[in-house]
Structures are given as C-alpha cells and as structure tokens.
Amino acid sequence: MDTFTKTTSTSWFQRLGQSLAGILIGIVLVLGSIVLLFWNEGRTVKTARALEEGAGIVQTIDPKGDLVAANGKLVHFTGTFESEGIAADAEFPGIAAPEGSAALVRTVEMYQWRETQKSETRTKLGGGEETVTTYTYEKVWSDNAIDSSRFEKPEGHANPPMPYESRTFEVTGGTVGSIELGPDAFGGLGASKTLPPTPDMLSAIEAVTGSGQRVVLENGKVSIRRGDTDEIGALRIGYSVRTIGDISAVGRLDGGLLTAYTASNGNAILLAEDGTASAQQMFDTAISGNALIAWVLRLVGFIAMLIGFNLVFSVIGVAGDIIPLVGSLLRFATGIVAFALAAFGSLLVIGIAWFWYRPVLSLALIGGGIVIALVAMRFAKSRATSKAAAVAA
C-alpha cells in the first residue's frame, strides 16, 4: 500500500464558471427526473393492472395431466424441475456441472491495484478553494476489472486486462411434468452450491491458459499466476452450481411450452419461484415487488431532482463565498429551497401522472406537495433570519 497527496487551488472566478456550467447539468437532471417519475407511474399502473387481470383469469393445472384444454391460456402449476442438457463452461472445454444442475456459475477474481481517495476542501477569504486529496493504492482481489488508466498516479500501479470474466452458463431448457420451460422462465432460480475443484478441472484450465502460467489448486479455487506468490494480474477461478427442485410458475401455455402471457394492456406476465406457492401467493408477491420498484424509482427521481436544483442554485453560494460565512448561509438557504422544490416537483409530477393514469389520488398528492413546499419555505425563511441576526450581532 502506498499513498500520494495532491493539493489543488481553485480561484473564485474558476468556481463561478464551474457553477454556471453546473446549471446546465442541473437543468438536465431536473428534466430527466420528471421523465423518470412520469414514466415510472405509468409503468407501475400498467403492471398492476396486468397483474390484477392475470390474478382473475389464471387457472391452476396439473403439469402431468392433459394440457390440451389449457393451451393458449394463463396457467399456474407446481412441480419438480428436470433440467435438459448439461451446463458447461464455453471458454474452458471439459468443465461442466453435474447432470441435473440448472446452471454452472464461474467466478473470476484478479489481483489488482485499487485507488481510493479522501479529500478535504477549505474555502478561503475571497471565494477561492484549496483541496488536499490523498490517494491510496493497495493490492486487492476483485471480480471486476479496475481501469488503472483513470488513476491519478497510474505509474507503478498498472493493471493488465482481465482475460476471463465471471459468467453463468445455464442449461438450454427444462421440464415440469409435460411442460417445457426456457431459461427466461427458470433463470436465476435454484439453490447454489460450491463445486470443488478437481484435477480434471485444473487440466482443462491449464490447456486454455497455455505455457508460462502456473495453474494450481488452492483454498477451493484454481489459481493462475506466473510465480510462486500472488502478483498483479494473478487470477483465481471458482465454480458453483445451481440446482432447482420444486418450482411454481405462471405463464401462457403454448403447445406444451410455457411462455409470457400478454395482458390486454400489452404487459407480459411470466412468473416463477422456488418451492410450492399458490397462484394467489405468486401474484401477491409480484404486486408487492411492483410496488417496491415504484417506490425505489420515486426515490431515485426525487434525489435526481434535488441534486439538479442544488446545481442550479450553486452559483448563489459560490458568489457569496467571497466571505465564507455568507456563502455558507446562502448555501444553507438554497439547499432548503432546493429540497422544497424537489419535494413539490416530485409530488406534482407523480400527481399529474396519477391524474393521467388514475385521477382519484392525484389531487391529494398535489396538495401534499404544496403543503411540504410551504412548510419548508417558511422554515428556511425563519432559519435564514435567525442566522442573519446572529451574524449582525
């Protein structure tokens, strides 16, 4: 591990120019958040309606029984999954999951340099800034390639390209009774279990990596390096398998093949989970998941709008930084205003979207946004007044 410290100074005019450029980025973020929030409400409502429709027409069938009557309909079934084919590593011929496995998962890690940084910024009288940044470099095992060309000090910390990546190899299909399922239906399902390395696995990897590399079995993984000790560029590869037992699924039965069912509004329904679950339980889970995604995207939209408004108003704080205390006061006030606008704007967009898709709740959301904005503005005004009084005293 080694460190490198860099001190940079930014004049008040440079900061002012940067903040003016930030206004454009802020506007883009605000507009992007509006699009995201509006789209998210439409997606949420359409998905909810499709799931409600599906829950009302789904039929539970016996996957081992006569499927003719259920052809073309939305069906639900449970049963034991039987995989078809063998999950094998396409890059290392000879390495495959045991028969009956649904997937072979390869995990690759490389020994690399990693850069971390810590900065301390001080605003000086006159509006300039001085930033002291400490860069720390350490060697770590990582399953993601770290681009050393972006390091502040790439000299002596170069990472080679990662020759192999983590991948999942799934079987081409499977069956539950007489019903066929594709990877889009069972992908990701099943319990994971480590696949211990074997001499045959080592030989298969050694045949691909070629000469000049030492391929050894260590700590349950295959290590690939040039010397006896780990060095930058060394690799270690591990495998695990996923095995699927009983599963429950919902979808359209198309000649014995389970496919996605298209609801009347165009949304697709294809559900699958491990274990035994009723149709109602599966739809309840899907509805809850849809609501969770909606709230996550609402939060993302609000945060993007908040950052956008803060960037738009940042020029005010920078202008006041000629006297640092004044800049802090202005930055606090504009931060409250940005929060108020982001809260009001997010709820307004959501309210308009709900008015577009579901008008019943839209007025309540818009009203809530107005109340939050008024309370936040009043709080900001009182705080700013009290701080100004303290400065004057």
Contact (CB, 8 A) for 172 and 55:
no
Alpha carbon distance 214, 233 (integer Å): 13
| Structure tokens, 271 | 């559900």
Confidence check: pLDDT of 112 > 90? yes
Chain-centroid distance of CA 323 in Å reads: 41
For residue 96, pLDDT over 60 is answered with yes
pLDDT, mean of residues 8-27: 82
Pairing, β 2-10 against β 129-142? antiparallel
Q: What percent of the chain has pLDDT over 90?
A: 58
Q: What is the mean pLDDT of residues 252-258?
A: 93
In this prediction, residue 389 carries a pLDDT of: 62
Give the span between the Cα atoms of 196 and 271, in whole angstroms: 32
Place of tokens 């000299």: 155
pLDDT, mean of residues 93-101: 92
d(CA 42, CA 267): 12
pLDDT category at 211 given cuts 50, 70, 90 is: low
Whole-Å CA distances, 228 to 169, 198, 201, 234, 251: 31, 20, 20, 11, 54
- In this prediction, residue 257 carries a pLDDT of 94
For 77, list phi and psi in degrees, rounded to 5: -155, 160
Of 4-13, 244-253, 274-283, least confident by mean pLDDT is 4-13
- Pairing of the two strands 214-218 and 257-259: unpaired
* CA 83 to mean position of chain CA atoms: 29
For residues 190 and 168, give the distance between their C-alpha atoms in angstroms, rounded to a whole number.
13
What count of other Cβ atoms lies within 10 Å of the Cβ of residue 210?
A: 7
The residue among 242, 252, 193, 239 whose CA lies nearest residue 81 is 242
pTM: 0.77
Residue 198 CA to residue 180 CA, distance in Å, equals 33
Strand partners, 258: 253
The mean of the pLDDT values for the chain is 88
Sign of CA dihedral 222, 224, 225, 226: positive
Q: Are 123 and 153 in contact (CB under 8 A)?
A: no
The whole-angstrom separation of Cα 84 and Cα 38 is 43
